[in-house]
Copies of this chain bind each other. A is one copy, B any other.
Amino acid sequence: MSTRIAVLASGRGSNLEALASHVERRAAGMATVVLAASDRADAGALDVARAHGIAAAALDMGPDHARALGALLATHRIDLVVLAGYLRLVPPDVVRAWRGRIVNVHPALLPAFGGPGMYGARVHRAVLAAGARVSGVTVHFVDEVYDRGATIAQWPVPVRDDDTPAALAARVLRVEHLLLPRAVLALARGDVRLADDGRALWMPRATTATAAFLLRDTDDDDLARSIDAALGA
């Protein structure tokens, strides 16, 4: 059985592009992106969907929105919902119905720099205002509270002294494009699932999320050289 994936996006759809391309290349038969929906009829994400032969739907954001979205997902027999730069609150009925099968990508290391109003450039402005030297990407299960659901995977991204919100956003986005598809396929494969205790549970055969970036530094000398280079020592 192929996992049927829907993507909700409000923007130009670069994460949809990354996910659709990755799934086509790496998961043929095991998972398919079958639907992209947007709260904005002119979102680039819908063009990206059409270019990949994926059904594209502009959502009616009127009072009947929650029921209509649920019906749309049901009609397409969606197993897995991916929020990729989706700026609207997903109706609680939809979150409940797809509990453990709905994920979001956030452009920072939650629990830092998340919550209501923290999206897009606002996240990166807050990171820079706080003087943080490490930001990153979080893929997490969606629950009823913004940015609160269990973390599936995180990856760090360095902040530079001369960063602007736009420069940091671009560096973070590059990692979103790499991390989100891999986290989604891990979920589709069953390597990770939402456990009864509300945590993301990885199967033993899957190695730990976010491990490799330091594993390469096999000894202290090697890691010390990295830090020396970073601090200009």
**Which residues of chain A have a CB within 8 Å of any CB of chain B?**
26, 109-112, 130-134, 136, 138, 150-151, 153-162, 174-175, 178-179, 182-183, 185-186, 191, 199-200, 202, 205-216, 220, 223-233
Contacts and interface: CB of A to CB of B under 8 A. Distances in A.
Nearest to A214: B158
A208 B168 CA distance: 13
Nearest to A152: B133
A186 B223 contact: no
Main secondary structure of the interface of A (DSSP, over half): mixed
Contact of A158 (B130, B134, B210): B210
Copies in the complex: 2
A226 B231 contact: no
B212 A229 contact: yes
Contacts of A227: 155, 178-179, 182, 212
A156 B134 contact: yes
A230 B213 contact: yes
B151 A132 contact: yes
B186 A211 contact: no
B154 A132 contact: yes
18 contacts: A109-B132, A110-B132, A131-B150, A132-B151, A134-B154, A156-B214, A178-B220, A178-B224, A178-B227, A179-B227, A182-B227, A191-B231, A191-B232, A208-B230, A209-B231, A211-B230, A212-B226, A216-B216
